[in-house]
Amino acid sequence: MSDPQATVHLVDDEAAVRDALAFLMRSHGLRVEAHPGGTALFEALDHAIEPHGCIVLDVRMEPLSGLQVHDELIARGVPLPVIFLSGHGDIPMAVDAMQKGALDFVEKPFNDQALVNKVQRAIALDMHRWRESRAHASVAGRLASLTDREREVAVLVAAGKLNKQVADELGIAIRTVEVHRARAFTKLGLRSAAELATLLERFELKGSSSRPDHQ
């Protein structure tokens, strides 16, 4: 599946600045939505099924400041990277925002290419997050497809136990262990116990509970 379309959300209460920034971004092939303030941004994000890209946010705006908008984005759980545009006197505020999770800030007057580079980096980070999220969901789905017994066998195999040890611990036949092991590996798309151990550690699936009745 190809990456979703990324949008640069420009938020500034000065129309001339918004227009100039939008022209700059579009001249580099970027998709842009310009917003006069936080309220307009929130409305746009509310109508987006799953927004992708980044947000370029001016610090000094009315009635909501860029910092207030950023706080609301955090409260809403919006994952888009945020780049602040700040005047010299706003740097301490911008640094505070970065400590809250903002990606970067650009001091005015800024170099056009430097800003574009930061925006492109922010979009790349968001696309990476999206790919990681999809990969995680895919693996989680495969793990959920395991039966209780397949999961028990997988956990013990990942812990380095041999088939006979697994059979003894679960109170089942070695052949039964082999069948469940093979099915688990097939469902998870794995070929080795090492790969299995890495996957289960990533998803924090450790230990097992014996259920001899589920053979």
Question: Would you list the DSSP string of 39-93?
Answer: HHHHHHHHH-SS--EEEEEESS-SSS-HHHHHHHHHHHT----EEEEE-GGGHHH
Q: Give the amino acid at 105.
A: F
pTM: 0.67
Which is more confident, 137 or 58? 58
* CATH 3.40.50.2300 domain extents, the chain: 7-140
Q: How confident is the model at residue 62 (pLDDT cuts 50, 70, 90)?
A: confident
Q: Give the amino acid at 186.
A: T
Residues 6+ apart with CB under 8 A from 114: 106
Whether residue 156 has pLDDT greater than 70: yes
Query: Using omega within 30 degrees of 0 as the cis cutoff, is the peptide bond preceding 4 cis?
Result: no
Contact 90, 60 (CB under 8 A): yes
Per-chain mean pLDDT for the chain? 86
The CATH superfamily label for domain 7-140 reads Response regulator (3.40.50.2300)
pLDDT at 189: 86
Q: Give the amino acid at 20.
A: A
DSSP state, 122? H
pLDDT at 204: 64
What would the mean pLDDT of 142-147 be, rounded to a whole number?
88
- Say how far apart CA 68 and CA 53 lie, in whole Å: 20
Contact 122, 81 (CB under 8 A): yes
Whether residue 25 has pLDDT greater than 90: yes
**Phi and psi torsions of 112, nearest 5°:** -55, -50
Whether residue 213 has pLDDT greater than 50: no
Q: How confident is the model at residue 212 (pLDDT cuts 50, 70, 90)?
A: very low
List, for residues 66-121, the tens digit of each pLDDT value: 999 999 999 999 989 999 998 766 777 777 888 888 898 888 888 999 999 999 99
Q: Is 207 exposed, middle or buried (0-12, 13-18, 19+ CB in 10 A)?
A: exposed
DSSP for 141-205, written as a single string = HHHHTS-HHHHHHHHHHHTT--HHHHHHHHT--HHHHHHHHHHHHHHHT--SHHHHHHHHHHTT-
Contact 38, 68 (CB under 8 A): yes
pLDDT at 202: 76
SS3 118: helix
What would the mean pLDDT of 164-181 be, rounded to a whole number?
92
**Which numeric CATH code is attached to 145-202?**
1.10.10.10
* CATH 1.10.10.10 domain extents, the chain: 145-202
Q: How confident is the model at residue 130 (pLDDT cuts 50, 70, 90)?
A: confident
Q: How confident is the model at residue 214 (pLDDT cuts 50, 70, 90)?
A: very low
pLDDT at 206: 47
